[in-house]
Structure 1
Amino acid sequence: MKRFECGTLVPGCHWHTRAEKEAEVVRRAVEHLRVTHGEEVIRPSMVDHIKERIREDQPTTA
């Protein structure tokens, strides 16, 4: 499972997402940046910044 925390890119933002595939995490992050942070143009460098911040999510133990 992959995880992206927006606060690693936009300080103070607590939004995060998880998905099995990196592409889905990137898609959700881009949509979040458009809707929540008002980014109208997502440049390839922004996608690179998102990918750099995606981490493997640690499974929780019950």
Structure 2
Amino acid sequence: MKRFDCGTLVPGCPWHTSAEDEAEVVRRSVEHLRTTHGETTIRESMIDNIKARIKDEEKA
């Protein structure tokens, strides 16, 4: 599983998402940035910043 914590990009945001593959994590993260943080333009650099912060989630 892959995990992205929005707070690593937007300080103070508690939102996070997990999915089997990186592409789904990025898709969900972009949607979150649009709906919650009001981002209207998602630049390639923003996608790169999301990807750089995706971590492998520890199995419980």
Gaps of 5+ in 2: none
Gaps of 5+ in 1: none
- Counting matched residue pairs gives 60
Percent of matched pairs sharing the same residue: 70
Larger Rg: 1
TM-score, length of structure 2 as denominator length: 0.99
Runs of 4 or more off by more than 6 Å in structure 1?
none
1:39-50 maps to which residues of 2 (within 5 A)?
Answer: 39-50=39-50
RMSD: 0.2
In structure 2, the residue matched to 1:7 is 7
Q: What's the CA shift string for 1:28-56, capped at 9, x where partnerless?
A: 00000000000000000000000000000
TM-score, length of structure 1 as denominator length: 0.96
